[in-house]
């Protein structure tokens, strides 16, 4: 009985070994038949990965540094409220924000120039252009998301699109995690809701601001608005 069991086990082992050998041979045959295709695929993968790394570190990296340095003069004009000059002619042969957007798209500086350009156009009363550039800006921090949507709300409001303005202010109030930006966004949302006659919504917004950011300047202002809407 033990001898029969042993023979059975040996037979199973032989079958397993045969299957392994057969599988290995098939894999080898498959590689031989398709080795050119496999090698081409591996080489192609290395080329793609290498290209991506070169684009990020060998091409975009230096462009980002260059754009950041060139944008200084435009930022300086912006801080002086010289919005038209900041857009196109900041002086010293330096490019304005519009040129930075065009020449350095894909860089962080080019992206940030969209935000600056949008704010410049907003202050110049060119609301369609402001909306266009602000939409193209992709925030990468926890502060500017709220400011982007507040600026969009202002631009939509000034151009008479109150529905889009309300939506933008709501997005601003929910964007980012910065206490100052969020409290300011809630205040702007409540003020706009009041201006639109939505006193019930404004009351909820001001109450949220007063409770969540108690002690802040915006919360103190919200308390005064609450007395009005009550």
| 44, part of any domain | yes
Rounded distance between C-alpha atoms, residue 81 and residue 132, angstroms: 21
| 201, part of any domain | no
| 116, part of any domain | yes
197: left (phi over 0), alpha (psi -120 to 50) or beta: left
CA distances from 62 to 2, 69, 89, 118 (A): 77, 11, 24, 25
- Would the pTM of this model clear 0.75, i.e. be above it? no
CB-based burial of residue 41 (10 Å sphere; 0-12 exposed, 13-18 middle, 19+ buried)? exposed
Rounded distance between C-alpha atoms, residue 140 and residue 99, angstroms: 21
| 62, part of any domain | yes
| 227, part of any domain | no
| 225, part of any domain | no
CA distances from 197 to 20, 45, 155 (A): 78, 59, 20
| 114, part of any domain | yes
Please give the residue range of the domain that contains residue 76: 27-138
| 216, part of any domain | no
Number of separate domains in the chain: 1
Residue given tokens 């108690």 in the structure block: 214
pLDDT, one tens digit for every residue, the chain (230 residues): 544 544 445 445 555 444 544 555 555 565 566 555 545 554 454 444 433 333 344 445 667 788 778 889 999 999 999 999 999 999 988 999 999 999 998 899 999 999 999 999 999 999 999 999 999 999 988 889 999 999 999 999 999 999 999 999 999 999 977 899 999 999 999 999 999 999 999 999 999 999 999 989 999 999 999 998 87
Signed CA dihedral, 33, 37, 39, 41: sign only: negative
């Amino acid at each position: 009985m033990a001898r029969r069991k042993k023979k059975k086990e040996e037979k199973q082992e032989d079958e397993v070994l045969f299957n392994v050998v057969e599988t290995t041979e098939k894999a080898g045959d498959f590689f031989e038949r398709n080795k050119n295709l496999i090698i081409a695929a591996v080489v192609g993968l290395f080329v793609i990965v290498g290209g991506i790394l070169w684009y990020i570190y060998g091409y975009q990296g230096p462009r980002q540094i260059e754009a950041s340095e060139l944008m200084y003069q435009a930022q300086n004009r912006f801080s002086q409220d010289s919005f038209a000059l900041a857009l196109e002619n900041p002086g010293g042969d330096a490019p304005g924000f519009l040129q930075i957007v065009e020449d350095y798209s894909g860089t962080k500086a080019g992206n940030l120039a969209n935000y600056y350009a949008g704010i410049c156009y907003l202050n110049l009363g060119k609301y369609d252009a402001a909306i266009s550039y602000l939409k193209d800006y992709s925030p990468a921090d926890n502060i500017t998301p709220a400011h982007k949507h507040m600026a969009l709300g202002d631009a939509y409001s000034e151009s008479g699109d109150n529905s889009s303005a309300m939506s933008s202010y709501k997005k601003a109030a929910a964007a980012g995690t910065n206490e100052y930006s969020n409290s300011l966004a809630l205040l702007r949302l409540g003020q706009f809701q009041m201006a639109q006659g939505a006193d019930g919504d404004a009351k909820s917004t001001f109450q949220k601001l007063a409770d969540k950011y108690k002690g802040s300047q915006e919360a103190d202002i919200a308390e005064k608005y609450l007395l009005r809407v009550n």
